[in-house]
Amino acid sequence: MLPKQRQSIGRSKRRRSHDAITGKTPTICPLSGMPKLSHRACPESGYVRPGLRIKVRKLGIGING
């Protein structure tokens, strides 16, 4: 089934005005105080969440802290 009339460009743009992508907001690591993304390991201390710290020598994660 086809639409009865073509949708105007302005109406399409007004509908799409809410589809903009927002940037990633970093949080502060409680151990090192450095900004880190949520659900990611802090590159300084290796902190992910309470009770979980990781060390990856090859990537340099958690070596300093």
Global pTM value: 0.62
Q: Which amino acid is at 34?
A: M
The pair phi, psi for residue 8, each rounded to 5°, is: -70, 160
Q: What is the pLDDT of residue 12?
A: 93
Domain coordinates of the chain in residue numbers? 24-65
- Closest to 30 (Cα-Cα) out of 15, 45, 18: 45
What residues contact residue 18 under an 8 Å CB cut-off, 6+ apart? none
> What are the average pLDDT values for consecutive 10-residue runs of the chain, which has 65 residues?
91 93 93 92 91 89 76
Q: What is the pLDDT of residue 65?
A: 57
